[in-house]
Amino acid sequence: MNTTPHNFTTIIENHRGYIGYCKCCQMVNVCYKNSLFCFQLCEYQWFCELIKERKCMTKYHTSHGKEVLMKTPMNNYYILFKESELDEFSEMLQQAKFLVETFKTVKNLN
């Protein structure tokens, strides 16, 4: 088990998840429901646009109310969303975007 100390700052948090930044790892953690995405600072912007613009996604109706299928880089691994979940998730990402850009700028100055 890794016991390395982390300097983690929560940027935004709600009842469905959080977005935070670890200064030690220089990684952005995006947690939404039961998914955790870990990004380098330069990848965060790309992911925000992917979700906001619904890129790499297709309509996929299920009997469970999920309507959108998002392909992941892993073979045969997809994430299903409701449209309302994508809207909420995108809003979280957009709210944290300014602070993530600030961390990126500070990193580039050092």
User: Residue 39: which CATH number?
Assistant: 2.30.31
Distance of alpha carbon 70 from alpha carbon 99, whole angstroms: 26
pLDDT at 23: 86
Tokens read off for 38: 């870990």
**pLDDT tens digits along 5-26:** 678 899 999 999 999 999 888 8
Amino acid at 19: I
Ranges under pLDDT 50 in the chain: none
pLDDT at 2: 58
Q: pTM for the full model? A: 0.84
Q: In this structure, is residue 51 part of a structural domain?
A: yes
pLDDT at 6: 73
Domains identified in the chain, total number? 1
Residue identified by tokens 């935070």 is: 20
Q: In this structure, is residue 3 part of a structural domain?
A: no
Q: In this structure, is residue 2 part of a structural domain?
A: no
Distance of alpha carbon 82 from alpha carbon 105, whole angstroms: 34
Full strand arrangement of the beta sheet holding 57-59: 57-59, 68-71, 78-81
pLDDT at 5: 67
Round to the nearest angstrom and report the end-to-end CA distance of the chain.
31
Look at phi and psi of residue 33 and say left if phi exceeds 0, alpha if psi is from -120 to 50, else beta.
left
- Residue 19 belongs to domain spanning: 8-105
Q: In this structure, is residue 30 part of a structural domain?
A: yes
